[in-house]
């Protein structure tokens, strides 16, 4: 099996750095294997050394190349150590099949089974190794970050791990103030949802939508999308850059 390593371009450095060199945080929505979009996103992010990257989970399954995406994320962390990888429901499912050395079976989903068949059950060790590194949530001075959000109406700390990864009904509609905004992916929206108390940046990258990143604290959005030649869905793709605000 040929495995292609994906090399990400070096981070773009900002020419006119803001007067304060305070680190900002880029939260990146569900990638779902869309490694080309990931690469394009990093062509437009004005990432600086002091900034933190928070990947909001569901990095694999469904899209173009799940394993390539994991390699790309691993390489990115080599270049930029301040990378946080959150655990989404898709990572959670794959981890249940990981025994610390290999995957024993595939999760029960169409895209996971397709991946399993593609590698004839021999999914590279690097994937399990990376999965082990994922964490349920993250907090910094700007926000709480969890793949699918938090339990509405209760302090953040009372949200269970399962709820953070799999979501709770009514979360997106909630006006509850957790003290800091909750930043999440998971919900497959057409446009990013940006409210005072919560932000969702899963914008269906793997289903013809956008891969979205939001920067905190200024809430600037960075988005890339495939543009398809209608007859060759995955061949003639270009990222279309759309910056909002
Ligand atoms: Mn999800």
The Cβ of residue 190 has, within 10 Å, a number of other Cβ atoms equal to 9
> What's the whole-model pTM score?
0.86
> pLDDT at position 13, please?
59
- pLDDT band, residue 17 (cuts 50/70/90): low
* Distance between Cα 58 and ligand 1 center (Å): 5
* Distance between Cα 186 and ligand 1 center (Å): 4
16 has a pLDDT exceeding 80: no
Q: Show Cβ contacts of residue 237 under 8 Å, excluding neighbours closer than 6 positions.
A: 36, 226, 227, 228
Gap between the Cα atoms of 175 and 19, Å rounded: 34
> pLDDT at position 34, please?
97
- pLDDT band, residue 21 (cuts 50/70/90): confident
Question: Higher confidence at residue 98 or residue 16?
Answer: 98
* Distance between Cα 146 and ligand 1 center (Å): 10
> pLDDT at position 18, please?
55
**By percentage, how much of the chain surpasses pLDDT 70?**
84
- Contact status, residue 147 vs residue 185, Cβ threshold 8 Å: yes
* Distance between Cα 111 and ligand 1 center (Å): 13
241 has a pLDDT exceeding 90: no
> pLDDT at position 15, please?
57
* Distance between Cα 108 and ligand 1 center (Å): 15
> pLDDT at position 226, please?
86
Q: Render pLDDT for 123-149 as a digit per residue (tens, 0 to 9).
A: 999 999 999 999 999 999 999 999 999
Task: Give which of 133, 123, 178 is closest to 155, Cα–Cα.
Answer: 178
Q: Render pLDDT for 31-62 as a digit per residue (tens, 0 to 9).
A: 999 999 999 999 999 999 999 999 999 999 99
Q: What angle (nearest 5°) sits at the alpha carbon of residue 175, between those of residues 156 and 217?
A: 70
74 has a pLDDT exceeding 90: yes
> pLDDT at position 50, please?
97
* Distance between Cα 175 and ligand 1 center (Å): 21
* Distance between Cα 20 and ligand 1 center (Å): 35
* Distance between Cα 115 and ligand 1 center (Å): 17
Gap between the Cα atoms of 55 and 207, Å rounded: 19
The CATH code that applies to domain 25-242 is: 3.60.21.10
Instruction: Look up residue 13 and give its two tokens.
Output: 């450095």
What's the chain's average pLDDT? Answer: 90
Q: Render pLDDT for 88-127 as a digit per residue (tens, 0 to 9).
A: 999 999 999 999 999 999 999 999 999 999 999 999 999 9
For residue 237, the number of C-alpha atoms closer than 13 Å in the C-beta half-sphere is 20
* Distance between Cα 132 and ligand 1 center (Å): 17
Q: Average pLDDT for residues 208-219, to the nearest whole number? A: 97
* Distance between Cα 89 and ligand 1 center (Å): 5
* Distance between Cα 90 and ligand 1 center (Å): 6
238 has a pLDDT exceeding 80: no
Q: Where are the domains of the chain?
A: 25-242
Gap between the Cα atoms of 219 and 30, Å rounded: 18
> pLDDT at position 27, please?
98
> pLDDT at position 11, please?
63
């Amino acid at each position: 099996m040929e495995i292609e390593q994906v090399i990400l371009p070096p981070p773009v450095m900002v020419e006119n750095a803001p007067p304060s060199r305070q680190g900002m945080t880029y939260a990146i929505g569900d990638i779902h294997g869309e490694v080309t979009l990931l690469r394009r996103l990093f062509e437009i992010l004005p990432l600086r050394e002091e900034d933190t990257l928070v990947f909001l989970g569901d990095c694999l399954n469904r899209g173009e190349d799940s394993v390539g995406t994991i390699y790309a994320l691993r390489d990115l962390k080599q270049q930029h150590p301040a990378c946080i990888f959150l655990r989404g429901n898709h990572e959670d499912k794959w981890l249940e099949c990981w025994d610390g050395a290999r995957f024993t079976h595939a999760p029960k989903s169409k895209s996971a089974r397709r991946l399993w068949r593609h590698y004839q059950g021999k999914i590279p060790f690097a994937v399990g190794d990376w999965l082990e590194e994922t964490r349920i949530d993250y907090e910094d001075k700007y926000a709480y970050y969890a793949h699918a959000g938090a339990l509405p109406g209760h302090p953040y700390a009372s949200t269970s791990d399962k709820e953070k990864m799999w979501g709770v009904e009514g979360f997106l509609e909630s006006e509850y103030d957790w003290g800091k905004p909750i930043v999440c992916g998971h919900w497959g929206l057409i446009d990013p949802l940006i409210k005072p108390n919560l932000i969702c940046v899963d914008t269906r990258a793997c289903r013809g939508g956008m891969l979205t990143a939001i920067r905190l604290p200024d809430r600037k959005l960075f988005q890339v999308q495939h543009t398809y030649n209608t007859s060759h869905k995955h061949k003639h793709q270009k990222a279309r850059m759309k910056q909002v605000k």
